[in-house]
Chain A
Amino acid sequence: MSGIAEVLVAVGDDIFLVEEDMVQTIRFDEPSVDDSEMQNDDSGNLIGVMETKQIAINYSCESALPPQQMAWCGMDSVLLYWDEDLMMVGDPVHYFYDEPVILIPECDGVRILSNTNLEFLQRVPDSTESIFKIGSTSPAALLYDALDHFDRRSAKADENLRLIRSSLSEAVESCIDAAGHEFDVTRQRALVRAASYGQAFCSNFQRDRVQETCRTLRVLNAVCDSAIGIPLSIQQYKLLTPVVLISRLINANCHFLALRISEYLDMNKEVVIMHWACAKITASPSTPDSHLLEILLDKLQLCKGISYAAVATHADNCGRRKLAAMLVEHEPRSTKQVPLLLSIGEEDTALVKATESGDTDLVYLVIFHIWQKRPPLEFFAMIQGRVLARDLFVAYARCHKHEFLKDFFLSTGLIHVVAFLLWKESWDMGINPMASKGSPLHGPRIKLIEKARNLFSQTKEHTFESKAAEEHAKLLKIQHELEACTKQAIFVDSSINDTIRTCIVLGNNRAAIKVKTEFKVSDKRWYWLKAFALARIKDWAALEKFSKEKRPPMGFRPFVEACIDADEKAEALKYIPKLSDLVERGEAYARIGMAKEAADCAAQANDGGELLERFRKTFVQNAIFDTLKMPFQGAS
C-alpha cells in the first residue's frame, strides 16, 4: 500500500482504482461476485462491501396485511409485528402484547420496548437447547445430569460419563457455551460446574476456557445488576468489547465498578482514573484546592504513567488555575508539562522545568512564548539569569534577529559582546558592498571598528581586544592609502604580514618598511617574511643582499628554508653552510637530497647516531615502496 488515498469506483461492470494522478481498472476473477455495493466515506478512504446474493429465508405467512415492523432476530430468524401480535418466523411463534412495542434489533436477538417494559427476545441458543430440551440425550445433557448424580453421590454419574466418553470435550464445550448464554446465576453456576466436572476427565481440553467464561460472566452479572442496569448477552459483550463497556460505565458515573472491572480484566486503568479525576473536579467546585488535590493524587497514584497534564488541563478549563498548577507539578513528562504551564501562565516554572529536562526545543518553546507576551526589557531580565535560555536566545538571535541581540547585550551590560558584534558588522560591510550602501569608502567600516574599540576599552578584561581593534582600524587606513597610491585593490582585508609581503612583491620596499615600523613588527618575523617574499619573486640578488645587511637575528634558517621551499637547490647551498647548528645543517642537506653531506654533518653532530639512523630509515622506506609496486603494476 502506498499510504495515499485510493478510491475504488464502480462504473457499469468495471471497478476503477482512482489515485491522485492515475486511474486503473481492477479485474475480479471470481465469477461468483455478481453484485457489489460501494460506500465512500468522506476521508477518501474506501469501504467496499461485496456480497453474493443469497436467499436467506423464504417464508409466506397468511396475513394479508403487511407487517408494521420487521426485524432480524439473530442471524437466522425474523420478527414480524402487527398490532399487538409479534411473530417469530420459522416454526412460527406468536407473542401478544397489550400495548404497542418498538423492535430494536441486536446482534443476537431483539430488544422489545414497550411503555412499561424492556424485554429481550432471542432464539434459544443451540447449546442451551441441547442440554435442557425435555428428554435430551445429547452428551452435554448427560454431562449435566451426571453432575446432578455426582452431587447426590449416585453411581449413575459414572455411568453417564462412560456413555459420553468419546464426545466428552464437546459436552464440556456445550456446557460452557450454555453457561455463557445463561442469565440466571444459579443455572450459570450449575452449568459451569458441569463443565469443570467433565473437564476433569478430559485430557485435551483447553483449560482456560472455563476460567475465561467465568470471568466474563462475573462482569456481565455485575453490569446486569439493577443498580447499574446494563444487561448484556455474552455475544453482545464480545462485539461491544470491554473497552467500550468501560467507557459506557464511566460515562454513567460508575467509576468504581469500571475501575474494578479494568483491574479484574487486567486492562489499563488510566482511562477510568482520568475520567474520574476530571469528573471529580467538575463535581466539586466548592472543595478547596489543596483538599481536592489530595483526593485526586490519592487515586492518580494508582496508575503509573497517567497524564497529570491532561487532568490539569481539565482543571484549568474548569476555571481552577491554581489546582491546575498544583497538578501539573506532578507530571513527569516535560513535553506535556511545559506547554501546559505556559497556557496557565506559569512561565517561570515552565522555563525551569524546560531547562531541567535538557530538551532545548522545550526551552525555545518557552522563550518564544515569553518573548511574544512581554516587553523586550522584561523579557531580557527574565532570561538573563537563566544561562541556557540566554545562550539559546543568543544563538537564535545571532542567526535571525541581529538588532535585537545588540539591545539585549547592552541592556544586560555585556558590552564586549556588543563590541564583537560591531566588529563583525564592519566586516560584513567589506564583504558585501551593498551593506555599506554602495559606497566603496572604508570610512564607515573604520568608524564601526573604532566604536567597538571604545566599548572594549570600557572593561579591564578586554584590553587585548581593544588594542587589536585599534590596530585593525589603523591597518585599514594604511591599506586604503596603499590602494589609492598603487591603484590596485589588493590590500584591504589582508593581514599585516600579507600587506608587507605584497609591498615587497611589488618592489615597494619603502612601503613595506613603513608598515613594519607602524606595527612594530619584530625582526624575527621580518626576516622570515622578507626572505620568503623575495624567494617567491625569485629575486635572488635581493635575497643575498638582504642576508648581508647585518647578521640575521636568528641565523640563516629563513634563507635556507625560503630557497628549499622555492625548490632552488643552488640558492639554498649558498646559505646551508652558514647554518651554525650541525643537526640543522645535516637536515637541510638531506632535504635537498645531498645524502653524503647530510651524513657527514650527522657524523659530526655527536648525538649518538640518532640523526644518521633517521636518515637511513627515510631513504630505505622510499626504496621499499618502489620495489613493492613492481610486480603489481597494472593489477589494480
Chain B
Amino acid sequence: MAQIPSLENAPLNLKSIRDKSERELVNLLKDIRGTKCLVIDPKLSGSVSLIIQTSKLKELGLELRHLTAEPVQTECTKVIYLVRSQLTFMKFIASHIQNDISKAIQRDYYVYFVPRRSVACEKILEQEKVHNLVTVKEFPLYMVPLDEDVISFELELSEKDCLVDGDVSSLWHVAKAIHELEFSFGVISKVRAKGKASVRVADILNRMQVEEPVNSNDVGRPEVDTLILLDREVDMVTPMCSQLTYEGLIDEFLHISNGAVEVDSSVMGAQQEGKKMKVPLNSSDKLFKETRDLNFEVVVQVLRQKATSMKEDYTEINSTQTVSELKDFVKKLNSLPEMTRHIHLAQHLTTFTSKQSFLSQLDMEQTLVEAESYDICYEYIEEMIHKQEHLTNVLRLLVLFSVTNSGLPKKQFDYIRMELLHSYGFEHVVTLNNLEKAGLLKKQEFKSNWLTVKRTLQLIVEDTDTSRPNDIAYVYSGYAPLSIRLIQQAIHSGWRPVEDILKLLPGPHLETKRSGFPSSPSVDSLHGASNGVADGRRSIVLVVFIGGVTFAEISALRYLASKEGMAYDLIIATTKIVNGATLIETFMEKLG
C-alpha cells in the first residue's frame, strides 16, 4: 500500500490540488537540463513525499540529498535547493557555496523557495555575498492533503512562532492557503473564528479577496459553505491529554509522520531484527479506515471478532465443497495482510498502554480535567521531576495543570521551576521562559474559570460507552474535547448562544458573512438537511485549526460528520497534526 492516499472519496476534489502541486514541481525541476542534485530541507521532504513519489523524482534524473550544515557531496554541476523560506537554511546554503568557491568548484545554484521567496532570506544570501550566484524561484506549495478529509499547511512552528516570537508569518500563509482553496472551490460565505490568530486570518483573507478577488463566475457554485477558524491557544487542554483513539494512540507512542509510522520490523512480525519499516496509515487501508477513529479498547474487540470469524472460516475450509464458497473464502483472505498488520500494531500498542506509568498519567490527566484535586497532581508532577521522567511528559502535565488551574500559586510556581532546572539542567530556563511567554505556564493571578467552562459545555460525560458512542467524549474516554465542543456549537448555531463562554477563553471571536458575492441560497442555522447539493453531495464546512490539531480531535469531528441529521461534510485543515509531546517540543529550546 502506498504512503500517498488515493483521495478517491474526498468530499472536495483534493486530488486536483495535489496533482497541480505535483505538476508544478515536476515542471520546475524539468526546467533545468541535465543531471542535477536536489537538496531538500528534511521537514519539507516529508511534505513533498505526500505529493510525489520519490521514484518519480528519480526518473527526472535527480540525485536526492537532505539539507544539512555539511557541504553537499555530489558530482553534479547543478545544485537545486528546495527549501522552506527559513533563515537558518540560508546560512547552510551560503556556507555550501562558499565552500565550493574555496575549493574552486564551479556549479550552478538554484534556490527554490517554498511556498514563496522571502525578503529576509534573500537578504541573508546577499549579505553572505552569494545572492548573485543563485537563481531564485518559487514552488507555491501552501498545503498538502493528508487524507480524504484532512489538509495540512505544514507549519509545525506556527504556534510557537506566534505565541513566543510574535512572528505571525504563518497566519498570512494560512489565509493564502484558504484563499487558494477559494480559487478552486468558490468563495466561502460564512466565517466563524475564535482566537486572536483566527480573527486575524479572517481579516487577512478578506483583504486578499479585495486585492485579488475570486471571480464567482469562474468557479461556479461555492462548494464550501462555512469556514470555522479556531486557535490552538483557545484549547490547550485537549492536546495535553493522552489520545485514546487507535490512530491517536499510535501517534502518541510511535509518532505518525506524513501519514506513516516507522516501527521495528520485528514488531510487524518480520524475521530480521533491528530493521526499521514504514507502515502507511491512511484511508486507503480499509480496515484502518474502519478502526482509526474508534477508542482503542474497542479496536481490540473489533480485531478479535474479525480474527475469530476468519479462524472459523479457516477451519471450515476443509469441508468446503463448491467453487463459489472457495471464492468467498479467497476474497476474505485478501484482507488478511491488513488484519495481520493491525493485530501486530495493536499488540505493540498494548505494551505501552498496559504500563503502570501510562495508567497513572491518564489518572492524573483525568483528575486535572475534572478539576478534582490539584494537590495530588502537584505532588505527582513533583515526583515525576524527582524521578527525572521524560521532560516532555513532565512539561505536558505541568502545562495541563497550569492551564486548567489558570496558573500555579507563586510559591509552587518558583519551586517547581527550580526543581526542574536542578533535575534537567539550567539550559532549560529558555524553555520555561518560552512556555511562560506563551501563557502555558504561569503564576496564578486570578481564579480559574475552567470549572465554568467544563460545566457549561458539558466537557465531562459520565458513562461513556466507548463501543457505542453517543458523544464525542468517547475519544478521550469521558472527556469531550473543548475545541470540538466549540466547533459543534459553531456548526449548529453559530457563536451567539455561547458568547458568555467564549469570553472566558483566550482571544476575540468573530462571526461574519462575506458579502459582495452572489452566495448560495443559505439557511442561517446550519441545521436541517435542506442544504444538500443537487447531485446528492452535502455542502462542506471547512474547519481550520491554527496551531495544530490532534488525531483524536479529527476522530471526534469525523464522528460528528457521521451523525444522523448532520447536513455537512467536514474538511479539516491544520497548520500541522500535533500531539502534546510534539507541541511541547516546539517550545523547547536549549540555551546551547
Give A residues with C-beta under 8 Å from B. Answer: 2-4, 19-21, 305, 332-335, 357-361, 364-365, 368, 387-388, 390-392, 394-396, 399-400, 420, 423-424, 426-428, 430-431, 464-465, 467-469, 471-472, 475, 493-498, 519, 521-522, 524-525, 528-529, 532, 561, 587, 591, 614, 618, 621-622, 624-625, 628-629, 631-633, 635-636
Contacts and interface: CB of A to CB of B under 8 A. Distances in A.
12 contacts: A332-B211, A364-B118, A365-B119, A368-B120, A391-B165, A424-B591, A468-B429, A494-B425, A524-B383, A532-B387, A635-B340, A636-B268
A632 B359 CA distance: 30
A497 B423 CA distance: 5
A611 B466 CA distance: 20
B167 A495 contact: no
B30 A628 contact: no
A333 B211 contact: yes
Contact of B172 (A359, A430, A497): A359
Contacts of B418: 464, 467-468
A635 B350 contact: no
A622 B304 CA distance: 12
B592 interface: yes
Contacts of B169: 360-361
Given A428-B592, A529-B386, 11 more contacts: A357-B207, A400-B127, A424-B591, A427-B590, A468-B426, A497-B388, A498-B425, A522-B419, A525-B419, A525-B423, A628-B343
Contacts of A521: 422
Contacts of A424: 430, 591-592
Contacts of A423: 429, 591
Nearest to A529: B386
Contacts of B119: 361, 364-365, 368
A396 B87 contact: yes
Nearest to B354: A618
Contacts of A364: 118-120, 123
Contacts, number: 185
B457 interface: no
Nearest 5 CB-CB pairs, A to B?
Answer: A391-B166, A495-B425, A358-B204, A399-B87, A360-B169
Contacts of B311: 631
A528 B343 contact: no
A399 B165 CA distance: 13
Contact of A427 (B30, B336, B356, B427): B427
B488 interface: no
A395 B168 contact: no
B299 to A, nearest CB: 12
Contacts of A618: 354
A542 to B, nearest CB: 19
A551 B318 CA distance: 68
B344 interface: yes
Give the interface SS of chain B, mostly helix, strand, loop or mixed.
Answer: helix
B578 to A, nearest CB: 22
B336 A391 contact: no
B366 interface: no
Nearest to A424: B591
A632 B310 CA distance: 10
Nearest to B348: A625
B168 A388 contact: yes
A20 B33 contact: yes
A388 B336 CA distance: 56
A2 B30 contact: yes
A561 B387 CA distance: 10
A431 B592 contact: yes
B331 to A, nearest CB: 15
A587 B358 CA distance: 13
Contacts of A524: 382-383, 386
Contacts of A624: 300, 304
Contact of B31 (A3, A365, A391, A636): A3
A21 B33 contact: yes
B341 interface: yes
A618 to B, nearest CB: 5
Contacts of A427: 427, 590-592
B116 interface: yes
Contact of B167 (A392, A471, A525): A392
A426 B430 CA distance: 14
B417 interface: yes
A431 B427 CA distance: 12
B320 interface: no
B71 interface: no
A579 to B, nearest CB: 14
B343 to A, nearest CB: 6
B270 interface: yes
Interface string B336-370: 11011101101100100010100100000000000
Nearest to B387: A528
A358 B425 contact: no
A240 B369 CA distance: 75
Interface string B471-496: 00000000000000000000000000
Contact of A632 (B165, B340, B385, B422): B340
Nearest to A496: B422
Contact of A496 (B211, B304, B343, B423): B423
Contacts of A357: 204, 207
Given A400-B127, A464-B417, A430 B168 contact: no
B175 interface: yes
A635 B337 contact: yes
B469 interface: no
B532 interface: no
A358 B171 contact: yes
Contacts of B200: 358
Contacts of A561: 387
Given A468-B421, A525-B419, A625 B33 contact: no
A368 B127 CA distance: 12
A525 B386 contact: yes
A496 B347 CA distance: 39
A588 to B, nearest CB: 9
Contact of A495 (B300, B414, B422): B422
A587 B300 contact: no
B426 A495 contact: yes
Contact of B343 (A3, A4, A493, A629): A629
A494 B382 CA distance: 20
B450 interface: no
Nearest to A304: B213
Nearest to B315: A631
Contact of A625 (B337, B347, B386, B388): B347
A2 B387 CA distance: 63
B166 to A, nearest CB: 3
B137 interface: no
B433 interface: yes
Contacts of B304: 624, 628
Contact of B386 (A359, A468, A471, A528): A528
Contacts of B430: 420, 424
A399 B167 contact: no
Contacts of A360: 167-169, 172
B46 interface: no
Interface in B9-66: 27, 30-31, 33-34
Interface in B387-444: 387-388, 414, 417-419, 421-427, 429-430, 433
B313 to A, nearest CB: 10
B303 interface: yes
B104 interface: no
Contacts of B118: 361, 364
Interface in B122-172: 123-124, 127, 165-169, 171-172
B350 to A, nearest CB: 6
B506 interface: no
A519 B88 contact: no
B262 interface: no
